[in-house]
Chains A and B, each alone.
Chain A
Amino acid sequence: MGKNKNIEELTNLMSIALRHRIGSIVNKEEIYAQRYAKDAENIMEEAKRIVTKQNWNDYNKKEIRERLRRKLLKELTEKDFLDNKKFEIMDEEMNKALKECNLN
């Protein structure tokens, strides 16, 4: 699979994983962050598997960040049952996830 296709798949998975992570933080009490964190982690593990398939240069990392932000914003906007605080913590959670994947 080419780099571009990998970026597409990676940003799809990361945006979904981040939507779960952010959703579990903002939707209710903190309890949910513990109880449903596993959903996000399962998807993030799959994303990390794709990360290891390529060597990512600075240009790729910039591309990943931009695409991920776009997709995450769309994911969060579509899920209108998630509290609007989701947009406030979006960038912070995205940066954490990119760091976790060594893509910062």
Chain B
Amino acid sequence: MQETVFKKMVSKGSRFNQVYVPKAMSGLIGVGDLVEVRLLEKHREIYYSKKQPRLNRFKEGMVNEIFGFLNKKAAYSCIFVVGSFLTKVYGFNDIDLVILDDKEINAKRLEDALTKEFNQKFHILAYKKEELEKVLSYDPMIASMFSSYVSDRLIELKYGHKIDKKHILFLLMMPEDLLKISLNPKAFYDSIRRLVTIEHFLEKKSLLITNIDKEIEQLLGKDLYIAVKSNQLINDNEVEIIRGIIKEKVDRIKEWVKTKI
């Protein structure tokens, strides 16, 4: 029998989704004929978390390409894009991805493959869903990271709230160290961001990255905020201003943890 092939999108029906035979082919494929339906390309959709504004067309296109690329490698439970790629209007650092799946994922290998394909740096964290939900409940940084995201599937995540004293003290190590040692300006920015995020987490305030950033800008002033965030050289006086803010926040958080837990 001569091969009769046509390509059509699946459309939504009231009871079942459907594929219509084109009118022009009615003579070739008729009622009662046996046909086979094969998936040629999965339709990709981007799902936005509640507080994530819609991305521009360029970024949406890129996210679609990334999801498509990864889904061709394996059928992951869910892929998220998080971090500065979503929040920055111009320029962004690495593209941060979180992949949920029950099987082991070689994140490094995937990062390399993505970098080769998109000529862009990627950072991947891989979790099982239960692991992620557990971490979301007690890690302020990851909870903040997941305050807005886009994903390739609609997924419901449980956001618990548990204050883990040891973990908070673990997170305070880096800001405390910066009171004694000097690293690049970006490390100071990251530490202040960490401290503001911890404060928000403890006080159950908004963990949206954009809100946290606004608060840091108010604390540092616009010029210093831009300098440290973009890792520009700062002078000794500015380092001391930042250390003063860090010290105050570290003491405040330690006091909070000591008295309320």
Interface of A toward B, CB cutoff 8 Å: 12-13, 16, 19-20, 23, 27-29, 31-32, 34-36, 39, 42-43, 46, 79, 81-82
Contacts and interface: CB of A to CB of B under 8 A. Distances in A.
A42 B170 contact: no
Contact of B184 (A20, A29, A42, A79): A42
Contacts of B169: 79, 81
Interface residues of B, number: 21
Most buried by B among A23, A36, A81: A81
Contacts of A23: 170, 173
A60 B181 CA distance: 23
Nearest to A27: B170
Given A12-B181, A35-B141, A81-B170, 10 more contacts: A19-B173, A20-B174, A35-B125, A36-B171, A39-B173, A42-B184, A46-B183, A79-B169, A81-B165, A81-B166
A43 B191 CA distance: 13
B167 interface: yes
B163 interface: no
- In the A-B complex, list the 5 residue pairs whose CB atoms are closest, starting with the nearest: A81-B166, A81-B169, A39-B174, A27-B170, A42-B187
Contacts, number: 45
Contacts of A79: 169, 173
Contacts of B187: 42
Given A16-B177, A79-B173, A29 B131 contact: yes
B127 interface: yes
Nearest to B142: A35
Contacts of B141: 35
15 contacts: A20-B173, A20-B174, A27-B170, A29-B131, A29-B135, A31-B131, A32-B170, A34-B107, A35-B125, A36-B170, A42-B187, A43-B177, A46-B181, A81-B166, A81-B170
